[in-house]
A and B are shown apart, each in its own frame.
Chain A
Amino acid sequence: MASLSGLLDKATRSALARKAFNFTVLAFFFGFVLIPSLWVFPHTLTRLDQMYTQVIAKPEVLSEAVTSLIRSVEIALAVVVIDVAVGVPVAWILVRRKFMGKEFLDTLLDLPVTMPTSALGFSIYLFWATPRKLSMADLLGLKTGFLSEGPLLVLALHAVFCLPYVVRSVIGMVSELDPTYEYAARTLGAPSFTTFRTVSLPSIVPGIVSGAILAFTRSVSETGATMIVAGWYETAPVYIKRMCDVNPDAASLVTISLIATSLVLVFALSALSAYWRVPIVRVLPSLERWLSTAKASAVRDFVILAFLAVVVFAPTFYIAVAPLQAPPQAQAQRPDSTEFGWDAFAETLVNSLLIASGATAVGLLLGLPLAMYISRRLSGRLKVLLDTLVNVSVIVPTSALAYSLYLFWGDAPGGLGLFEKGLALVVVVHMVLTFPYVVRPILSALEGLDPVYEEAALTLGAKPYTVFRTVVLPLIRPAILAGVVLSFTRSFSETGATVIASGAQVRTTVPVLIVGWVKQAQKLGDQVALYNASIACALLLGLSYAMLVAFRLVMGRVK
């Protein structure tokens, strides 16, 4: 180890070695992550005539494509509104209130993100749209599902898995608020609600905006779970999935529009938020004073927690009661198939875990140097540019990203023809989509780290690599861990991109297997597949919870 450190020390002192290393890291980011993610743009430019004949000239194809796009944006905007309205008070409660079981609630809130979205989607589907035992319909005494497949169910799903992004992001800001500003406002005569509106809220707007951006991009890109609950209401990613074999040009058009819409809306949102002003005066003094009373605040907390219980937690955990349902009778044509499909489940679960670990390891190995390079070597516009490009790769919807990567690496016209749709492409997709999730927190931590520590170490005689190992690394360890956890859970739970990259192959990752089972059940009424899916999802719920608790323990120890 010592000799390796010595070697690295020597290498970091050599300008040539450093240049070669930086070049490798940048080449990976641009050549493997960024350009392939956006490959759909140059790809389309070479096929404008086909695009015209196959899509633009066919009104029914075009209108279907545009409709799917509008639906995705509508759902995502509605999700942003709901999740900000719920997420901000939830974050406030979690930071500021003291109550029993707060830690537990805090852990549970991350579950919809950790769980594979297809498992979550299936659980939500069973809870809202079927009359099974203990479902919403069952509780209300209805004979058919409470909601049917369609926009409301899509909304119920997206609002759940996007909520944690808003809550986490706002919690980060709220816990860093300096309470003296609130004390100042209170002693200047503002009741507590007015204080929140005029003083605290403006300070947490950046957190709300970044949470809203994440929620928006996650919502427009989700495919796997949406396929389960959407029914006739086909959103853009579901449309891309269906069209990428049938009419690739239509898929490309929607992919391009989806990426462009996301980028435009995201940058518009962050630009507008700088101009957004909350009125300072008391808008409705008597109402605000009433809202500031202990009673009103208790009512507010109760309503928020009730919403969490009914709309978020009950549907998410519903799958846990699935094994309580009787297994289906053996069907005449398949007498041996009442057993749960252990083989397929075990195989794909192992794949999922290997892919998540591998993608995270690669991301860390190349992401850490990239973050160091952006933060410590670059300055001015170049730094802003690279920082923005890292953000762009988060914003590109994962389903669009998977399709773009397929066009780049795969056997589509103009592609490299290296991988067909299948497991290999899935691995590539996961490496790309997790990469920014490792880089982002590390980059923020480095930006927040005062360079005086590094300067001090250098003047004390440490070589550059030793400075990194003994000073920088220990100080940013929490951020590295956060990046690892984010990247791992992102890969483990991603369904949409994997579904697109898998093509016809079902046995790739576990979320894809579940989508396959559920679609089989929904289309063919296959009770065995339905049973398999419900057992698998229940197991994944348990596994996700165990993972979350483990992550918490590790993170807690690091802090």
Chain B
Amino acid sequence: MPSVELVGVTKRFGRKTALDNVSLRVEDGEYAVVLGPTGAGKTTLLRIVAGVLKPDAGEVRIGEAVVNDIPPDERGVALFFQNFALFPHMTVLDNVAYGPRMRGLPEQDCIRIAREMLDLVHLLERANSMPHELSGGMQQRVALARALATGANLLLLDEPLSQLDARIGEELRYELRRFVKDLGLTAIHVTNDVDEAMAVADKIVVLKRGSVIQVGSPEEVYLKPKTPFVASFVGEATVFEAIVRAVDSERVRVEAMGVEIMAYAQGFSGGDLVVAAIRPESIRLLREAEPALANRLEVTVERISFIGGMLRVECGVVGTDLKLLSLVPDEENVELAEGEKLFASFSPEEVSIYPYPSEGLFRELSLE
């Protein structure tokens, strides 16, 4: 069971830098998820660990040994592909037996291992089918069986659920994690789906434009986003520009589009241009009579949508262009209507204040 470490890994394709001085460590037996928008360099990172791509600079270590010059077939890693990459000209059994055969095991052992693995993913009865005869979910399980049959203990998963129907993907993500944990593997799983990352990860690595932005447990990344990008991408926070108007020992008062907001923050001074972020579930929507928290803004409800037991409410602060997003429990006594006037209220602890990003807020939040 190996740990994996990347030290200062850089990879360029022509003039485009896919990975820029990336360092990260995945512990033995850990299920790490690399999370980032499309084009962040996630697949490149995985392929470099697998050895099918060579980094331009930096070191890759698997279990403390530097493996830069070791070809992929000798690294003992299993790479799992977005499109599963099941060999179309081989049966399911031949696909799964491919790894053991490449290790030169006796033929009957290869078949035995392949059948065991197919049994593990409940597909033994489809052993003689061709890959195209299987459904997407079955293909995914065959690909998993094939990866596991090599005996590799480092599993690299490249958007393993993205080709599946949403519901099937949700079931299989837990199955995937269970396999990894039951077999005691180390896994690096790459995805752009925040929910998927939150659901399966021991550790999340947020990657953006080839750089690691934040590493931490799902809770850490969600509750303490390091940058406005993480707050917006992972937490769906409302993110906006503001100017610091007043500071005291532990709090600041900022102004955004004529609205004043109190926040706990240190290290800023009056007149600073900053970015403020508020997560949707920390914004409460109140009728006038109810007692409010320190921040209280008059808003108009603009759009309501239902998502699994919650109401997602977009509202505009009255008299300004400032928009807020709020998630409130969908309870019987909450009857909201579009166009209704309410108060949005949130405590100063729930407002994160960040220094203004050097590349501008638009580019900071952009997914490209």
A187 near B72 with CB under 8 A, answer: yes
Task: Give, as a whole number of angstroms, the nearest-CB distance from B160 to chain A.
Answer: 13
CA distance A194 to B74 in the complex (A): 13
Given A180-B83, A191-B73, A192-B71, decide whether A185 and B89 contact each other with a Cβ distance below 8 A: no
CA distance A210 to B75 in the complex (A): 38
A180 near B104 with CB under 8 A, answer: no
Which of B75, B87, B102, B156 is A194 in contact with, Cβ under 8 Å? B102
CA distance A198 to B102 in the complex (A): 10
A188 near B146 with CB under 8 A, answer: yes
Given A194-B102, A280-B101, A285-B104, decide whether A187 and B79 contact each other with a Cβ distance below 8 A: yes
Which of B51, B82, B102 has the most chain A CB atoms inside 10 A of its CB? Answer: B102
CA distance A202 to B130 in the complex (A): 15
- A186-200, CB < 8 A from B: 186-192, 194, 198-199
Instruction: State the majority secondary structure of interface residues on B.
Output: mixed
A184 near B101 with CB under 8 A, answer: no
B223 to chain A: which residues have CB within 8 Å?
Answer: none
- B75-129, CB < 8 A from A: 75, 77-79, 81-83, 85, 87-90, 94, 97-99, 101-104, 107, 110
A183 near B72 with CB under 8 A, answer: yes
A519 at the interface (CB under 8 A from B): no
B71 to chain A: which residues have CB within 8 Å?
Answer: 186, 191-192
B77 to chain A: which residues have CB within 8 Å?
Answer: 187
Residue in B closest to A286 when the chains form the complex, CB atoms:
B104
B177 at the interface (CB under 8 A from A): no
- B141-192, CB < 8 A from A: 146-147, 150, 152, 156
B98 near A185 with CB under 8 A, answer: yes
Residue in B closest to A289 when the chains form the complex, CB atoms:
B73
Residue in A closest to B96 when the chains form the complex, CB atoms:
A188
CA distance A198 to B47 in the complex (A): 21
State which size class the interface on B falls in: 35 or more
State which size class the interface on A falls in: 20 to 34
A183 to chain B: which residues have CB within 8 Å?
Answer: 47, 50, 52, 72, 79, 81, 85
B94 to chain A: which residues have CB within 8 Å?
Answer: 280
B107 near A281 with CB under 8 A, answer: yes
CA distance A198 to B99 in the complex (A): 12
B146 to chain A: which residues have CB within 8 Å?
Answer: 188
Task: Give, as a whole number of angstroms, the nearest-CB distance from A282 to chain B.
Answer: 6
B83 to chain A: which residues have CB within 8 Å?
Answer: 178, 180
Residue in A closest to B73 when the chains form the complex, CB atoms:
A189
A54 to chain B: which residues have CB within 8 Å?
Answer: none
A302 at the interface (CB under 8 A from B): no
Task: Give, as a whole number of angstroms, the nearest-CB distance from A165 to chain B.
Answer: 24
A188 near B150 with CB under 8 A, answer: yes
Which of B78, B82, B88, B104 is A282 in contact with, Cβ under 8 Å? B104
Given A189-B102, A191-B71, A282-B104, decide whether A184 and B85 contact each other with a Cβ distance below 8 A: yes
A267 at the interface (CB under 8 A from B): no
A185 to chain B: which residues have CB within 8 Å?
Answer: 87, 98, 102
B90 to chain A: which residues have CB within 8 Å?
Answer: 280
CA distance A192 to B71 in the complex (A): 9
Residue in B closest to A191 when the chains form the complex, CB atoms:
B73
A22 at the interface (CB under 8 A from B): no
Which of A178, A199, A203, A281 is B101 in contact with, Cβ under 8 Å? A281
Which of B73, B89, B97, B147 is A190 in contact with, Cβ under 8 Å? B73
Given A183-B50, A184-B79, A190-B102, decide whether A199 and B87 contact each other with a Cβ distance below 8 A: yes
A188 near B47 with CB under 8 A, answer: no
A181 at the interface (CB under 8 A from B): yes
B72 to chain A: which residues have CB within 8 Å?
Answer: 183, 186-187
Which of A187, A198, A281 is B50 in contact with, Cβ under 8 Å? A187
**CB 8 Å contact bits of A163-192 with B (1 = contact, 0 = none):** 000000000000000101111111111111
B87 near A189 with CB under 8 A, answer: no
B98 near A187 with CB under 8 A, answer: no
A189 near B81 with CB under 8 A, answer: no
A202 to chain B: which residues have CB within 8 Å?
Answer: 89
Residue in B closest to A199 when the chains form the complex, CB atoms:
B87
Which of B51, B89, B104, B147 is A186 in contact with, Cβ under 8 Å? B51
Residue in A closest to B146 when the chains form the complex, CB atoms:
A188
Task: Give, as a whole number of angstroms, the nearest-CB distance from B34 to chain A.
Answer: 17
A interface residues with partner B (beta carbon < 8 Å): 178, 180-192, 194, 198-199, 202-203, 280-282, 285
Other 14 A-B pairs with CB < 8 A, given A186-B71, A188-B147: A178-B85, A180-B82, A180-B83, A180-B85, A184-B81, A185-B102, A186-B51, A186-B73, A187-B78, A189-B74, A203-B89, A280-B101, A282-B101, A282-B102
Q: Top 6 A-B pairs ranked by shortest CB distance?
A: A189-B102, A186-B72, A187-B79, A188-B99, A184-B85, A183-B52
Q: List 24 A-B contacts (CB under 8 A).
A: A180-B82, A183-B50, A183-B81, A183-B85, A184-B85, A185-B98, A186-B51, A186-B72, A187-B72, A187-B75, A187-B78, A187-B150, A188-B150, A189-B102, A189-B103, A190-B73, A199-B87, A203-B89, A280-B90, A280-B101, A281-B101, A281-B110, A282-B101, A282-B104
